[in-house]
Structure 1
Amino acid sequence: MGLDLEDLVRLPNDTVTANPTAVGYKLTGGEALGNLEAFDITKDCPVEILHTTMLGVTKYLLLEFCNYLDSDELKDLELKCRSYDSKAFRRMLSSSLRLRRSFVGRDYKVFSQQAAVILNDLLHHGWSAKSEEKMEGLRAFFDCFRVHGEVMSLLFMSKIETKFSMYKLLLNKKTEELTAMIGVVDNFLVAQGNMTANSKMGNKPKLHILHHIVEDIERFATAIHFESEKGE
């Protein structure tokens, strides 16, 4: 049976006090964990999609992509983001790409939803005359953003009423595909001298954590239901 922090606290010197606030303990809500019969922090804390995707993988991709572009290409991308018009998707970036390092989660999410459409247009029109070496890098980033958008669409489903097993298999497959595409971009940037081997996106813990999200979905339903910071 768990103990209530307000009633009893065992101090490091193995003495017990019935007045925890007198010795510096503060009630924060976390003491409720003491009333659980069991708690495994590696399994009972689900992957938080804001920090793992938008402020994790999405941010890594956008920052590396913008670093790869020259100033004119970055202006082209900015213009496309600002003029994006779709009946299916009306949201726009709230900040300039110049402020991309200060984006909040919803800005990264908006870009992730626009990126594949915008880059497909630029690759076939505005940037089609680029050198083959430049196009190789642009196509690699496009592949990343395309698959990344698919992963994000799967993660933000509110309900899966049928074929849940198929949904899990698809999410696993797309997450593995995204990881492979990021590896291609990493290797390309390292070969071009634009990235060190130690700073590869594929080495980031958040990309590894994303591979565990299906386990959490099996236990807690789709990821949007354990998103902890909806306002951002």
Structure 2
Amino acid sequence: MSRAVIAPQALVAIGGRATRLRAEDIRVGASKSFMVSGRRPLLYWCLKSLHAAGVRRLLLAGNEPVHLRKAEAVLRCAHFEFDSVVYVQDAGLGLHGLPAQLTGLLEDTVLFEAGHGISHPRHYQAMLARKTEDNVVFSAFPTNPGNPRYRVLVDGEGRGYPAFGPSKRSGLGLPLALAQPMLIDRRYVELLSAFDYTVDRIADHYLATGRLAAVRSGLPVEFDLSGEYRVAMGWYRLSLAADPAAERPWSSTELSPAGPR
């Protein structure tokens, strides 16, 4: 009998400066979380999917007061409710150090998500099912040569292996890029300072000790560059237009990572 999957608290980063997108002349507004698809901010679709996955406790962190005000407005207009929502203005010292800044507000296990990223509820549930007491669970996406994200090989059980070097394993397909959403815990947060709050270094640690897990995603990676942005927004527009009455940020559980055709 499989164990019941209980959704934890979600920490959602809603701030940031979107420096690379702005440098490529993409209009961002307050932050990427409030860019619009389907007449709704991306944060709305992100929170709707988390809610559908069973998450009921939220911690929303932005580095400017406007981020928090806009997030409150998103939730006021939503057709779903969370049991607990905490708004925090962080110090703006970087995304991956954010859990360490907010450690006093975090539960033992936390879904760490970007407010402009959208994942299917089943993706979050698959991450929860793969979590153990001592691992960390990333999301895995097709790689983009223009954005050197951390890369691993992933087997059928979701175990991560080095993508390069003498330990590279055969038969696991192409390397995949790790990104948010992540499923982290207190041990992960405690290790952040020892690895200079650098996600690649802490991923190295978990990979070397055989404690890095990943769940492949069929939706696009949360975007940093204009190319990633266009692919993601193309999928979001397609999926939202497919069933606007249902307000679903997905049209299928079997989405192609190549983007809409």
- Please indicate, yes or no, whether the TM-score normalized by the shorter chain is above 0.5: no
> Which protein shows a greater Rg?
1
| Structure with greater proportional strand content | 2
Q: TM-score w.r.t. structure 2 length?
A: 0.23
Structure with more contact order per residue of length (Cα contacts < 8 Å, sep ≥ 6): 1
Q: TM-score w.r.t. structure 1 length?
A: 0.26
